[in-house]
A and B are shown apart, each in its own frame.
Chain A
Amino acid sequence: MRSDVFILLSCFVLAGCTARSHPAIYPDSRTASPLLSFATQSVSPTQATSELLLKLPLKAKSVRFAVIGDSGTGRSPQFEVAREMEAYRRIVNFSFVIMLGDNIYGGHSPRDFVKKFEEPYKPMLDAGVKFYASIGNHDSLSERQYNLFNMGGERYYGFKKNDVAFFVLDSSYMDPVQLSWLEKQLRESNAAWKICYFHHPLYSDGKFHGPDLDLRSVLTPLFQKYQVNVVLSGHEHVYERLKPQNNIYYFVLGNSGQLRFNNLRLSSQMEVGFDTDRDFMLVEVDGDNFYFQTITRSGATIDSGILRRQTNPSN
């Protein structure tokens, strides 16, 4: 049973917390999380044999999507994450995936696109799931014209699903033209939820990179002024959910293919961190609630909860 596996893994993780200087999930206890509680349900996928542990409510007419970052290695861990995503897709029925950059590592020949994207996610692509990519530092700008990344030929772009607006940025080249575009889009958006995603994190406790302070200095004033609710980034090959910064929710998820083992440092801004395996995230937005569940390639849920839409995000 998947839930049994989860419990076993949790026990292993908690046991590891006492035995190692670096616990797998930070902080040691997640009971202090300010998130609202939500009942966990075990569900049986129609074609899979084991039960999945689901922490999303699956409300009618909600917006459901998956999140991956730093995925495009073409190696077995990427395929394992993709298989777990597909198992959950059969239950959650998410219709799109957002990609936080580094979608294709190394070469960018047509064969690379097959090996590092089309093959791992084939079941989802066959089911009609759309992938919306952002550009990372290992990506080629030619990706913006690749039809399966749905970028419309642009380095940065936006799209909307019901009452959720997505602003997809090229954080490796945040020139004044892009900043002006972003400000215009945010100003004119009347969506209830404004979600920005891009590769380089503004806040991060990863030891390898850390936050991009210059990028933060130009983006956060816009995020606060125009009430952005959620910001997601990759680049750091770990998972981290930060405590709200200026009332904005920040996630880092850069371990859907790559992994930088034990690379997080504990900090006061960290809500939850995970740096010992690959994962992806499921999101369901319904009304004023943003439900999320972060799941490893082996099916363990390492973070989940509900974020309330901020009534006045900038304050």
Chain B
Amino acid sequence: MTIGSGTISIAFLLASFYFPLTQVASPTGKSVNQNSRIIQDFDRRLDSYAKLRKRAQAGLPNPKSETSAANVKQYQQSLAQNIRTARPQAKAGDIFTPAISQLFRELIETSIRGNSGNNIRASLRHAEPVHEFPLEVNQEYPQTSAMQSTPPTLLSNLPKLPPDLEYRIVGRGLVLLDTKSNLIVDLLPDALPISQGER
């Protein structure tokens, strides 16, 4: 697997957990301590969402790994409704705070401008790009819309997510998607550099 410069930036971030006193500049320009604090905040917010989802699942019948299409749909809709009820005020930026958003934009740009940049750009162009359309937090990702694939090298350079949460690209934006409920958990507008998003 190709190791891009974005991977190195994540390595810096991870290293900062183990060597918290070291002040080293990461490829994003911030000190690794600064970046690690931002990532810790991101993880804390994700953890909070994962706990909320667990509570939302509690009242629902245990989903079988395989069931009928009607049961699949019913479970997904019930879970989505429970999550909406549990976070009625949820809005864009609850997880992607300004600091986290800035770090993500830098990580994505570093990946795209790095050694694997050509492959990532080609993937973004060839993967049947999903153009920008209106999205809102707590809304279901429209199932009539295609889901653009997220380039693997880019994924390897972004912070790891809990199970059943995914990063998805829509236009130039990055969507944090709950794949169990098909709900949009948060949005990061202008995540991709302009030259990548404008197709």
Contacts and interface: CB of A to CB of B under 8 A. Distances in A.
Interface string B48-72: 0000000000000001111111101
21 contacts: A110-B68, A138-B146, A140-B182, A142-B72, A143-B72, A146-B66, A147-B67, A152-B65, A171-B149, A172-B127, A172-B147, A173-B149, A173-B150, A174-B152, A174-B155, A175-B152, A175-B155, A209-B128, A214-B116, A214-B152, A218-B2
Interface stretch (B23-31, B39-47, B117-125, B188-196): B117-125
A140 B149 CA distance: 13
A212 B126 contact: yes
Interface stretch (A23-31, A101-109, A288-296, A303-311): A101-109
Nearest to B68: A147
Interface of B: 1-2, 63-70, 72-73, 75-76, 116, 118-120, 122-123, 126-128, 143-144, 146-156, 160, 166, 179, 182
A296 B170 CA distance: 35
A140 B143 CA distance: 6
B182 A142 contact: yes
Nearest to B65: A153
A176 B65 contact: no
Given A146-B69, A147-B67, A217 B155 contact: no
A179 interface: yes
A221 interface: yes
B123 A108 contact: no
A213 interface: yes
A213 B123 contact: yes
Nearest to A216: B119
B17 to A, nearest CB: 17
A218 B127 contact: no
A25 to B, nearest CB: 25
A252 to B, nearest CB: 13
B134 to A, nearest CB: 19
A137 B149 contact: yes
A213 B122 contact: yes
A154 B64 CA distance: 12
Contacts of A112: 69
A197 interface: no
Nearest to B161: A175
A200 interface: yes
A118 B76 CA distance: 21
A209 B179 CA distance: 26
Contacts of A138: 146-147
Q: Please indicate which of the listed interface residues B67, B120, B149, B179 has the most CB atoms of chain A within 10 Å of its own CB.
A: B149
B182 A141 contact: yes
B2 A217 contact: yes
Contact of A110 (B69, B118, B146): B69
Given A109-B69, A153-B63, 18 more contacts: A109-B73, A137-B148, A145-B63, A146-B67, A147-B68, A171-B149, A172-B150, A173-B149, A173-B166, A174-B152, A175-B152, A213-B118, A214-B116, A214-B153, A214-B154, A217-B152, A218-B1, A218-B2
